[in-house]
């Protein structure tokens, strides 16, 4: 998959099938190559990232028909981040096991990201929308080696597609 950096830096990228997710790369040290959760072997994904804005999924979920919405949101995001740094503040001691289709399964760690809710306030006001704040997380493991995880856009997805689990790696991040 070709890398598509945005905002004239190498911090934020677009990814997914049609480059419809804005994400932030992160890294971890000392993670086991694989773990077993609920009897299932899971592997490290690639790349580690926090999905910040699921533009394509937002268009679907909220039935948005604003012309060129994807490019407008990318432009808004880049303008916003000129004065508001969006970065991981900390990783919570909250781990979740996720599945959407009962085939692909992932383990995520929830995290807090600076200024992201403020960005959603901006686009909700600008476009007259009511998009929920994202439930920020990083996929630590999944059933498909070196692949990204399952999209978990907001609190509805966390409630419907995940269950809380004990820390599967034995140390805090």
Q: Which residue has the tokens 């689990």?
A: 165
Please check whether residue 110 is in contact with residue 96, taking contact to mean a CB–CB distance below 8 angstroms. Answer: yes
Number of H helices, E strands in the chain: 4, 10
According to DSSP, the β-strands at 162-165 and 88-99 are antiparallel
State phi, psi for 80 to the nearest 5 degrees: -60, -45
Using CB atoms within 10 Å of the CB of residue 61, give its burial: 0 to 12 exposed, 13 to 18 middle, 19+ buried.
Answer: middle
pLDDT digits (tens, 9 = 90+) for 133-148: 999 999 999 998 888 8
Cα–Cα distance for residue pair 135/153, rounded to 1 Å: 6
Q: Which residue, 52, 60, 61, is CA-closest to 22?
A: 52
Radius of gyration of the chain (CA): 16
According to DSSP, the β-strands at 105-113 and 137-142 are antiparallel
Instruction: State how far the alpha carbon of 19 is from the alpha carbons of 54, 126, 131, in Å.
Output: 10, 22, 20
Exposure string for 65-82, b = 16+ CB within 10 A, e = fewer? eeeebbeebbebbeebbe
pTM of the model: 0.93
> Tell me, what's the pLDDT at 28?
94
> Tell me, what's the pLDDT at 4?
85
- Low-confidence stretches of the chain (pLDDT < 70) are 1-2, 17-18
């Amino acid at each position: 998959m070709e890398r598509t950096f945005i905002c004239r830096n190498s911090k934020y990228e677009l990814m997914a099938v049609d480059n419809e997710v804005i994400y932030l790369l992160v890294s971890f040290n000392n993670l086991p190559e694989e773990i077993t959760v609920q009897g299932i072997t899971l592997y490290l994904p690639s790349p580690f990232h926090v999905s910040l804005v699921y533009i394509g999924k937002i268009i679907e979920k909220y039935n948005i028909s604003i012309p060129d919405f994807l490019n407008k949101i990318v432009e808004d995001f880049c303008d916003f981040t000129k004065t508001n740094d969006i970065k991981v503040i900390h990783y919570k001691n909250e781990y979740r096991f996720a599945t959407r289709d009962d085939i692909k399964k992932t383990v995520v760690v929830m995290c807090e990201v600076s200024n992201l809710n403020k960005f959603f306030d901006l686009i909700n006001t600008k476009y007259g929308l009511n998009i929920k704040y994202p439930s920020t997380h990083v996929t630590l493991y999944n059933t498909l080696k070196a692949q990204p995880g399952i999209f978990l856009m907001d609190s509805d997805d966390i409630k419907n597609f995940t269950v809380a689990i004990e820390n599967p790696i034995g140390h805090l991040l």
